[in-house]
Amino acid sequence: MSRTSHGFNRSTQSAPTTEFLTLVEEGEVATITLNRPEVMNALSVDLSREFAESVEYIRDQDHLHIVVIKGSGGNFCVGDDLSEMAGGEWGNPNAVFRRVRYYQDMANTLEELDKITISAVDGNCVGGGLEITMACDFVICTERARWGMPEVDWGITPGWGGTTRMVRLIGRRMTKEINLLGALHSAKRGVDLGLFNRVVPNDQLDDAVTGLVELLKIKNNQGLRQLKFIINKNAEADLYTAQGFEALQGAYSASVLAANLVPDADDAHGWTAYAKKDPESEILKRRQAALNFWVD
């Protein structure tokens, strides 16, 4: 265990050894690919452990700013492996309780990463697979993607987001419909309800993800971190508390830029670049790149 200059312990400096997923780092981008294509990337106990360890590793890497999660073999993920449940590998009720809490911690860690996370969804995305997407910042899916929460028909209930995060994203009535009926839905309906950001043609998923990644790369990383943090926290707070945090964030942003103490933050206020109207300004180029992105 090592100690960094930040003053807290980092216990995951080495990437985990994995068998059922791949973790690839390319500069500031990490890509996790769930890799059990023969069972549509069902989350076995071992795959879930590897996923949790990979998320924890990514959490502790300052050089990583963007995370892409996808599945192999034409599917994203069909959730927990029911064959393992049937085989008793989840253990007695207390063991199940502990495992569910472990998976909740995994999803919470994913949601709280100070990186921008993107789920790239193709094919089936159900149960635990859908719960992964709900802990991410962006979800892009193909036209052929199908999603849902089928647990009710298997005599089980969601454990790490299928009711809790979903009700916060799409409301009580729609969450009941998705969970109590257990149907599989179209990609377009996921966008309409607010679970997904974009639907793209089946052969354009990689290009769509790359386009989003490239836009995120030119953003102010400190700004992205702060925005993600405050949006996540304020979604759970009352209006006036949230506004208080929002005001403090404004002051924090000004102080960070003025002090120039964060290596991957802008070294100047955006309004300075705006006032100078310098066409070579990286900030103005960044703004121009964003103007028409995902504008229908």
Nearest 5°: the CA angle 100, 105, 111 is 125
Residues 105-129: b if buried by 16+ CB within 10 A, e if exposed = ebbeebbebebbbbbbbbbbbbbbb
CA distance 126 to 184: 8
Q: Tell me the average pLDDT across 245-259.
A: 83
The pLDDT value given to residue 283: 84
CA distance 269 to 175: 42
Listed in sequence order, the DSSP H helices in the chain are 45-59, 82-86, 93-112, 128-134, 164-170, 172-181, 187-193, 205-217, 221-234, 239-259, 270-276, 282-290
Is pLDDT of 6 > 60? Answer: no
Tell me the per-residue pLDDT of 77-104, one tens digit each, with 9 for 90 and over. 999 999 998 888 888 999 999 999 999 9
Question: How buried is residue 233: exposed, middle or buried, by Cβ count under 10 Å (0-12/13-18/19+)?
Answer: middle
More confident residue, 266 or 44: 44
- CA distances 2 to 5, 50, 62, 274, Å, are 10, 22, 14, 42
Q: For the chain, give the mean pLDDT.
A: 91
Tell me the per-residue pLDDT of 103-154, one tens digit each, with 9 for 90 and over. 999 999 999 999 999 999 999 999 999 999 999 999 999 999 999 999 999 9
Catalytic residues: 131, 151
Q: Which residue has the tokens 């007695």?
A: 92
CA distance 293 to 9: 39
The pLDDT value given to residue 216: 97
pLDDT confidence bin for 8, thresholds 50/70/90: very low
